[in-house]
């Protein structure tokens, strides 16, 4: 599928409501349960999404938009959030994410990006040349990837409880 900015904004804009519908009010053991060692709980995923709003997505959009290939992406610490979620409630994290995402989308809108702008290029430290459109598509897909992770993590809390039906549930493997 080709990238359409309006569609990406629509998808990015609804993630806070999806997260709230899925997670707000869940018992703590569901919010803190993970998939095993070195995996993240729902609260840690939320904190990672917050970190992305603060230090990854819009800062990189601005680097490409303002500096092009001369600009440098700040490194994204994909584990910073593991400290950031400690002691915070799910609603607190959901509220912060919703506010940051709304602000991000306001900033995207203010750029009034044209189709030509989506072809603007920047330098990724590993991949080399990337476009603004690719960055925005990645942001959108990254949300969905973490929704995949959240529902998979919730499902796996019942790995034992489903008994023999485990054989029918590929999500458990």
User: Which parts of this chain interact with its own copies (CB under 8 A)?
Assistant: 1-3, 7, 10-11, 14, 17-18, 20-22, 25-27, 29-30, 33, 124, 127-128, 130-131, 133-135, 137-138, 140-142, 144-145, 147-148, 151-152, 154-155, 157-158, 160-165, 167-172
- Which residues, in sequence order, are bridge partners of residue 128? 124
Half-sphere exposure of residue 62: CA atoms within 13 angstroms, side-chain side: 12
37 sits in the region (left: phi over 0; alpha: psi -120 to 50; else beta) called beta
Tokens, residue 3: 């990238």
Pair 145, 78: CB distance under 8 Å:
no
Rounded to the nearest whole angstrom, what is the least distance from the CB of residue 70 to its own copies in the complex? 19
Rounded to the nearest whole angstrom, what is the least distance from the CB of residue 122 to its own copies in the complex? 12
* First vs last C-alpha separation in the chain: 29
Rounded to the nearest whole angstrom, what is the least distance from the CB of residue 151 to its own copies in the complex? 4
Write out the E strands in the chain. Answer: 121-124, 128-131
Three-state SS at 99: helix
Rounded to the nearest whole angstrom, what is the least distance from the CB of residue 86 to its own copies in the complex? 22
User: For residues 4 and 84, what is the distance between their CA atoms, to the nearest angstrom?
Assistant: 33
Pair 5, 116: CB distance under 8 Å:
no
Rounded to the nearest whole angstrom, what is the least distance from the CB of residue 154 to its own copies in the complex? 5
């Amino acid at each position: 599928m080709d990238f359409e900015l309006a569609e990406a904004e629509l998808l990015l804009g609804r993630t806070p409501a999806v997260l709230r519908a899925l997670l707000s009010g869940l018992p703590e053991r569901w919010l803190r349960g993970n998939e095993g060692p070195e995996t993240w709980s729902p609260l840690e995923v939320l904190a990672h999404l917050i970190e992305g709003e603060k230090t990854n997505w819009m800062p990189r959009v601005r680097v490409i938009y303002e500096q092009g290939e001369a600009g440098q992406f700040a490194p994204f610490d994909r584990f910073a959030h593991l400290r950031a979620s400690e002691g915070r409630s799910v609603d607190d994290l959901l509220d912060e994410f919703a506010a940051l995402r709304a602000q991000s989308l306001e900033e995207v809108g203010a750029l009034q990006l044209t189709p030509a702008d989506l072809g603007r290029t920047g330098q990724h430290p590993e991949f080399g040349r990337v476009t603004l459109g690719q960055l925005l598509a990645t942001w959108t897909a990254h949300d969905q990837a973490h929704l995949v992770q959240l529902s998979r993590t919730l499902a796996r809390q019942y790995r034992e409880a489903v008994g023999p039906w485990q054989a029918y549930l590929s999500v458990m493997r």
